[in-house]
Amino acid sequence: MKTDPTFWIAARAAGLAAYGLLTCSVVAGLVLKSRPFGTRLKPSTVTDLHRFLALLGLAAIALHGIALTLDTAVPLPWTALLVPGQATYRPLWTCVGVVSAEAMILVYLSFGIRKRIGVKNWRRLHWATYAIFAGATLHGLLGGSDSSRPWAMYLYLGSIGLVITATVWRALVPPPRPVRKPAVAQPASA
């Protein structure tokens, strides 16, 4: 009996979309501080984009997991989406994906409690984004079924290159200073 590949295709597409959105969110977060486009982009606009991309990435991760549990080719219990180590398909790399997704949820939720935990702790938590990105990359490369295909390898290498480039830019190039408008002299009153 032949199985229907719909959910398998949906799971792969959602996983790749989630990875692309995670990459874009990480790059947007790095661009926010380093501002490689000068003052043309408002920090609030980039922050909103960063958060929106992260939210879309989480939605794609949810679709990825749901489609995998609905697929019949490789049985995956729904508990495997929440509890690392429950999957039988490439268990180590699936576990890395689950942990990365759960960490991404924590970092995303931290936006709402930033004032409570303090900006310093919030920034420390955001350093986990590098580990999340690395985990998602390893999950895709070593757990994904398309990793051996050239286009998938280009996707991973391009994403890694973007994140490294944005990180180096942020580390080496100081953000632009705001341009102050000269004060307009008030006419002397007589």
Classify residue 88: in a domain, yes or no: yes
pLDDT < 70: residue spans in the chain: 1-2, 34-40, 175-190
Classify residue 177: in a domain, yes or no: no
Cβ neighbours for 60, distance < 8 A, ≥ 6 positions apart: 14, 15, 17, 18, 21
Classify residue 118: in a domain, yes or no: yes
pLDDT at 42: 79
pLDDT at 43: 79
Q: Is 19 left (phi over 0), alpha (psi -120 to 50) or beta?
A: alpha
Number of domains the chain contains: 1
Classify residue 182: in a domain, yes or no: no
pLDDT at 39: 63
Classify residue 73: in a domain, yes or no: yes
Classify residue 160: in a domain, yes or no: yes
pLDDT at 172: 87
| CB-CB contact of 50 with 28 (8 Å) | yes
Encode pLDDT of 140-176 as tens digits.
Answer: 999 998 999 999 999 999 999 999 999 998 888 776 6
| CB-CB contact of 74 with 94 (8 Å) | no
pLDDT at 57: 97
Structural domain span for residue 103: 6-172
pLDDT at 74: 83
pLDDT at 4: 82
| Structure-block tokens of residue 14 | 């959602």
